[in-house]
Amino acid sequence: RKEVEQDPGPFNVPEGATVAFNCTYSNSASQSFFWYRQDCRKEPKLLMSVYSSGNEDGRFTAQLNRASQYISLLIRDSKLSDSATYLCVVTRTNAGKSTFGDGTTLTVKP
């Protein structure tokens, strides 16, 4: 079993739709959590950090559930420009290790 697992998708949604991605992790010692966005043939870019209290940045909402060891990302009012691969990242700061999921591909269509 992989340390970080994501539904690979692809998710194909119309503009304006709400879409949710989930990510599960297996190591309970994990300390920091992030969502990254990666466009085709580009480097990953930090989208947002994830906290147990939940955090929101415009149309994006991230949530962490430590008890169930999963992370979620909600995108509201999808735009064409949201089309990308979304990567979940789990970090064990004391071990100096960050683990990426394989990503979930989102395509937003007109």
Partner 1 sequence: ETGVTQSPTHLIKTRGQQVTLRCSSQSGHNTVSWYQQALGQGPQFIFQYYREEENGRGNFPPRFSGLQFPNYSSELNVNALELDDSALYLCASSTDRARGYTFGSGTRLTVV
> Which residues would be at the binding site for partner 1 (CB under 8 A)?
4, 31-32, 34, 36, 42-46, 49, 87, 89, 91-93, 95-103
Please state the φ and ψ torsions of residue 39, each to the nearest 5 degrees: -85, 160
In whole angstroms, the minimum distance from the beta carbon of 17 to partner 1 comes to 24
In whole angstroms, the minimum distance from the beta carbon of 98 to partner 1 comes to 6
Cβ nearer to partner 1, comparing 78 with 101? 101
In whole angstroms, the minimum distance from the beta carbon of 110 to partner 1 comes to 26
Cβ nearer to partner 1, comparing 17 with 55? 55
Cβ nearer to partner 1, comparing 41 with 67? 41
E strands, 39-76, are 45-49, 55-57, 60-65, 70-75
Strand partners for 34: 49, 89
| Cα-Cα end-to-end distance for the chain | 37
- Which helix (H) or strand (E) segment holds residue 1: the answer is none
